[in-house]
Amino acid sequence: MIMPLHPGAEAIQNKGWLLAHKWLLARRFSQLAILILFMIGPGLGIWLVKGNLSSNLVLDTLPLTDPYVLLQSIFAGHTPETTAMIGAAIVLGFYLLVSGRVYCSWVCPVNMVTDLAHWLRERFNIKSASTISNNSRYWLLAITLLLAFTTGNVAWEMVNPVSMMHRGLIFGIGMAWTILLGVFLFDLLVSRRAWCSHLCPVGAFYSLLGTHSPLRIRADAREQCNDCMDCFLVCPEQQVIRPALKGADKGIGPVVTSANCTNCGRCIDVCSKDVFHFGLRFNNKPVHNKNIHNHTDHSTGAEVL
Amino acid sequence: MIQQQSPSSQPPASASRRRFLLSSARTAGGAALMGLSIGLYSRQSISLPAEALRPPGALAEKDFLGACIRCGLCVRNCPFDTLSLAELGEPVTTGTPYFIARDVPCEMCDDIPCVKACPTGALNHSLENIDDARMGLAVLLDEETCLNFQGLRCDVCYRICPAIEKAITLEHVANVRTGKHALFIPTVHSDHCTGCGKCERGCVLEEAAIKVLPLNLAKGELGHHYRWGWKEKEKAGRSLVSPDIKHEYNLPEGQHYDYEGEGLIFDDNTSNGAPFSSDPLKTLNQGMKEAP
């Protein structure tokens, strides 16, 4: 078995660099474009969007509000005006459709920080024994709402790295960079993908939103999997792949149904066998066929089929 | 009991349950600790220094912090760049809007764009007339440096006030230093002052003598059982304490007192005008004449 130099090397060979980074590039484009849309207002005086991710106004007409921040405000005892409610409903509807954690991988600016930390961690082969349960985020989500309830203040927003970073880049960052540096170093040195995939309550909230969302990653061509592990290595939420990819003999369908999947599409990029694609969650029946998962030489994988 | 348990199934089950309980406890403990520290931090760092004012229509500070989602739309809609969002490290609760009157006061726009922009109502949308805003209350803090208190006619705070003659009036008081002039004392009236801060901005001193303070610092509050006697009397149309007795002086014959303004009046035309004769002997002998 030939170990690839880094995950995705074989996909680059087979598909070319551009196609093997298609979704990563699209994601970076989306993240940066959203940030730039917000920043050209104060920067250049072009006001396409006003405000920040907590709440904003697009083209002076469309209100958008982060439902999680608004929920904290409601827990703090406030009854919001209709503008915020409408804004939150629009955002809720959008993420219910496209899966909540699209927010994490396509919108959230902190993703670029933690992706960089992860990339460096892999690059310098930093290992650390510390493990954090990836359910911690749900505890933290509950705690943030409890905090709002007990303090009457949207207390989490005083330290939330997500809103801090976005607001900071648009309105002035102050000392908030220290919190981002903390997240970066934590992800780099303490634990793999610690913030986004284990702790962040914003991600936990959007995970819950996406529990039943139709847009999903599908491993329809899972018979072609050659066990190269590339998808697993690049996946920010490794636990979500296995059932869909390897669950055929257990009667599990090919759809990545876990709400923790961020729909980042990186698994599609790095798979040299084109196992994954974006699709809908419906029609998730295990295709009855022979399970082929014992070949070690992946170049022959297609012939075995 | 233990022996009866099937050795193949029971020990792993209890071990995995133990592992599950342990890891749950660890996670819950960690989350609780984090929650506690954020909670304590947020309690400590909830702050609004006296010189920082909230935009018009802001709810009471405690409610405001629960209602404001730190989006900055009020800041963006302020046409005069009065407002800014607090950054981490500044003495105002992070992400919330404020302004410093001495730097840029509120211009009191008629259409109140900052309030309209607020999506949550942390700036109360029921504020429709900017004159009803109460961002704070101007207080003339330093009589020792205020030029008007020295008898000069600075009057800048009075002139610059958008509610001139209502929120700030000039009250005339005798100038004891010169003995012949008046002091024009700038006097703030809380029923009209919006706390816009133009007076503080305009004050010509190095450090403003008049400053806008948060209402809770600036305003006293009467004991709830206090009543102003004269107002109650006016309301009731009569004295509420005891029946009004007509006040009378026991004056010598030929004199009476008009307490509406005239003062002591001599009915006797001879001593017209002055209460006492210019001749002290005559005064001393008053009332003695008839005796013999």
Count CB-CB contacts under 10 A for residue B264: 13
Q: How confident is the model at residue B10 (pLDDT cuts 50, 70, 90)?
A: low
Residue A101 lies in a domain: yes
- Write out pLDDT tens, residues B70-106: 999 999 999 999 999 988 888 888 889 999 999 999 9
Pick the closest to residue B270 from B278, B260, B262 (CA basis): B278
Q: Do A58 and A201 fall within a single domain?
A: yes
Chain B residues within an 8 Å CB radius of A62? none
What percentage of chain B exceeds 90 in pLDDT? 47
- Answer yes or no: are the C-beta atoms of A216 and A280 closer than 8 Å: yes
Final residue before a domain boundary, out of A209, A237, A264 = A209
Residue B277 is predicted with a pLDDT of 64
Q: Do A290 and A175 fall within a single domain?
A: no
A48 contacts: CB under 8 Å, gap ≥ 6? A37, A40, A41, A58, A59
Q: Do A53 and A131 fall within a single domain?
A: yes
- Answer yes or no: are the C-beta atoms of A203 and A136 closer than 8 Å: no
Residue A280 lies in a domain: yes
- Across the interface, do B68 and A154 touch by the CB < 8 Å criterion? yes
Q: Do A92 and A219 fall within a single domain?
A: no
Crossing angle of helices A136-151 and B10-45, rounded to 10°: 40
Q: Do A143 and A276 fall within a single domain?
A: no
Of B28, B46, B120, the CB nearest to A153: B46
Chain A residues within an 8 Å CB radius of B122? 78
User: Chain centroid to CA A254: how far?
Assistant: 20
Between strands A55-58 and A49-52, the pairing is antiparallel
The pLDDT of B257-280, averaged and rounded, is 68
Residue A149 lies in a domain: yes
- Across the interface, do A77 and B66 touch by the CB < 8 Å criterion? yes
Distance CA A263, CA B7 (A): 44
Q: Do A205 and A219 fall within a single domain?
A: no
Q: How confident is the model at residue A299 (pLDDT cuts 50, 70, 90)?
A: very low
- Write out pLDDT tens, residues B23-47: 778 777 877 887 888 877 777 666 6
Residue of chain B nearest A133, judged by CA positions: B27
With 0-12 CB in 10 A as exposed, 13-18 as middle and 19+ as buried, what is A112?
A: middle
Q: Do A75 and A125 fall within a single domain?
A: yes
Burial B155-187 (b: 16+ CB within 10 A, else e): ebbbebbbeeeebbbbeeeeeeeeeeeebbbbe
Distance CA B137, CA B115 (A): 19
- Across the interface, do B119 and A87 touch by the CB < 8 Å criterion? yes
Distance CA A103, CA A63 (A): 17
B198 contacts: CB under 8 Å, gap ≥ 6? B101, B105, B106, B160, B161, B162
Residue of chain A nearest B43, judged by CA positions: A151
In chain A the first and final C-alpha atoms are separated, in Å, by 19
Chain B residues within an 8 Å CB radius of A171? 72, 75, 84-85, 87
Distance CA B32, CA A299 (A): 50
Residue B123 is predicted with a pLDDT of 93
Is residue B257 over pLDDT 90?
no
Final residue before a domain boundary, out of A161, A177, A209 = A209
Q: By residue range, what is the domain housing residue A162? A: 48-209
Q: Do A196 and A249 fall within a single domain?
A: no
3-state secondary structure of B157: helix
- Across the interface, do A143 and B35 touch by the CB < 8 Å criterion? yes
Residue of chain A nearest B34, judged by CA positions: A140
Residue A182 lies in a domain: yes
The pLDDT of A56-83, averaged and rounded, is 90
Chain A residues within an 8 Å CB radius of B120? 55, 70, 73, 78, 80-81, 83-84
Residue of chain A nearest B124, judged by CA positions: A81
Residue of chain A nearest B94, judged by CA positions: A158
- Across the interface, do A78 and B88 touch by the CB < 8 Å criterion? no
- Across the interface, do B27 and A52 touch by the CB < 8 Å criterion? no
- Across the interface, do A81 and B87 touch by the CB < 8 Å criterion? no
Q: Is the ipTM of this complex over 0.90?
A: no
Helix/strand/coil (H/E/C) assignment for every residue in A6-73:
CCCHHHHHHHCCCHHHHHHHHHHHHHHHHHHHHHHHHHHCCCCEEEECCEEEECCCEEEECHHHHHHH
Burial A19-42 (b: 16+ CB within 10 A, else e): ebbbbbeebeeebeebbeebbebb
- Answer yes or no: are the C-beta atoms of B223 and B177 closer than 8 Å: no
- Across the interface, do A56 and B73 touch by the CB < 8 Å criterion? yes
Chain A residues within an 8 Å CB radius of B30? 132, 136, 139
Is residue A291 over pLDDT 60?
no
- Across the interface, do A51 and B73 touch by the CB < 8 Å criterion? yes
Residue A21 lies in a domain: no
Q: Do A201 and A221 fall within a single domain?
A: no
Phi, psi angles (nearest 5°) of residue B172: -85, 130
Q: How confident is the model at residue B274 (pLDDT cuts 50, 70, 90)?
A: low
In chain B the first and final C-alpha atoms are separated, in Å, by 132
Final residue before a domain boundary, out of A188, A209, A230 = A209
3-state secondary structure of B183: strand
**For chain A, what is the domain count?**
2
Is residue B275 over pLDDT 80?
no
Residue A111 lies in a domain: yes
- Write out pLDDT tens, residues B104-127: 999 999 999 999 999 999 999 999
- Across the interface, do A172 and B87 touch by the CB < 8 Å criterion? yes
Pick the closest to residue A140 from B38, B35, B24 (CA basis): B35
Measured in angstroms, the CA of B91 and the nearest CA of chain A are apart by 11
Q: How confident is the model at residue B269 (pLDDT cuts 50, 70, 90)?
A: low
Q: Do A98 and A199 fall within a single domain?
A: yes
Q: Number of Cβ pairs closer than 8 Å across A and B? A: 171
Residue of chain B nearest A140, judged by CA positions: B31
- Answer yes or no: are the C-beta atoms of A146 and A206 closer than 8 Å: no
Residue to mutate among A135, A145, A153, A164, with most B CBs inside 10 A, is A153
Chain B residues within an 8 Å CB radius of A159? 38, 41-42
- Across the interface, do A80 and B119 touch by the CB < 8 Å criterion? yes
Q: Do A164 and A229 fall within a single domain?
A: no
3-state secondary structure of A222: helix
Residue A43 lies in a domain: no
Q: Do A85 and A143 fall within a single domain?
A: yes
Residue A263 lies in a domain: yes
Of A73, A132, A135, the CB nearest to B69: A73
Residue to mutate among A134, A139, A173, with most B CBs inside 10 A, is A139
- Across the interface, do A170 and B72 touch by the CB < 8 Å criterion? yes
